[in-house]
Amino acid sequence: MTGIDVRRVDAALFDLDGVVTDTARVHAAAWQRLFDDFLTARPAAPGEDHRPFSTQDYLREVDGRPREDGARAFLRSRGIRLPEDRPESEGSRATEDGRADEPETLRGLARRKDAHFQAALSQGVHVYPDARRLLTTLRGCGLRTAVVSASRNCAAVLARAGIGGLFDTRVDGVLAARRGLPGKPAPATFLAAAELLGVAPARAVVLEDAETGVIAGRRGEFALVVGVDRTGDGSRLREAGAHVVVTDLDGLAVTGCPAADRAASGPEDRQGGPTEPQPPGGLGSRERPGRSGVDGSTATAAGAGPGRARLGSATGRRRP
């Protein structure tokens, strides 16, 4: 399957940053500011690489990972080791300008990065029009939708962008921490989203712009893993195992729904890909549990109503 055939799948799982919203750029800028300041101020030491943080550093070490995991991976790539956090007994000291003196620890760096991101987020969130169109099309054809993000700011981004109603459920960094789910490239967060929607992975599509997310989709044995390449270099997503790579979501064919059939307008696709290890047990069950929200409560399909029901009826699909 090189496009989304809505007769063969029941759900679509969207990464947030870089797929639905332009916040990947904001995250990258926040990481660059953090690490450039950190590396400039850090004294030279044998075995440590203090070159400025680059786009390739972001894509290879940070993109798609939980905040602490990304910081850890980048520092390791530069030969730098930091303690996880300051001991509770030490507390933060105040500097002369009254700001907290954040220690040089892994979690301290992660907190600084989040502060940079929050400052940028206050200026607004841009939603990709092609993502909004695809979400509207798929939901009109009766598919369930989820947003799956490593970010603990996912809910805030959705609220500021005004698109929470386009998703039936959310699996983000907050839920992952509460459940103890490992981050991408492990498939656990995608599998959790499928479970919450009551859909088997073999009946769901994953849409990702990060290599780690593509690998997670393949390891979770999802029906289709779409690589969304907004940077102009789709090779990294193909090499990670994406079944299809598109430069924007208007380039993804949607078939099997008379009200929304469309041909792909984008350039390239590819079947197959490297064989990935079998996913771990538990969330990967092929059973179809009842749908529930991220807090375990029963979830109501966002945007459901009389108009939505008519669309589902017209296409011959039923939403459970």
Contacts of 63 (CB under 8 A, 6+ apart): 18, 24, 27, 28, 70, 209, 210, 211, 212
For residue 29, give the 3-state DSSP assignment.
helix
Residue 163 exposed, middle or buried by CB count within 10 Å (0-12, 13-18, 19+): buried
If phi > 0 it is left, if psi is from -120 to 50 it is alpha, else beta; for residue 274 that is beta
Q: Is 15 annotated in the active site?
A: yes
Report how far residue 75's alpha carbon sits from residue 35's, in angstroms, rounded to the nearest whole number: 9
264 by Cβ neighbours in 10 Å (0-12 / 13-18 / 19+) ranks as middle
Contact between 293 and 233 under an 8 Å Cβ cutoff? The reply is: no
Alpha helical stretches, state H, 8-90: 23-41, 55-57, 67-77
**Nearest by Cα to 192 from 87, 105, 279, 128:** 279
Closest CA to 262 of 127, 132, 133, 168: 133
Catalytic residue among 5, 10, 15, 22: 15
Strand blocks (E) in 200-304: 204-208, 224-228, 244-246, 254-255
Q: What's CA 203's distance to the chain center, in Å?
A: 19
Report yes or no: 292 and 298 within 8 Å, Cβ to Cβ.
yes
Which residue in the list 10, 17, 63, 269 is annotated as catalytic?
17
Contact criterion met (CB below 8 Å) for 295 and 198: no
Residue 17 annotated in active site: yes
Within a 10 A sphere around the Cβ of 1, how many other Cβ atoms?
Answer: 15
Q: Which residues does the annotation mark as catalytic?
A: 15, 17
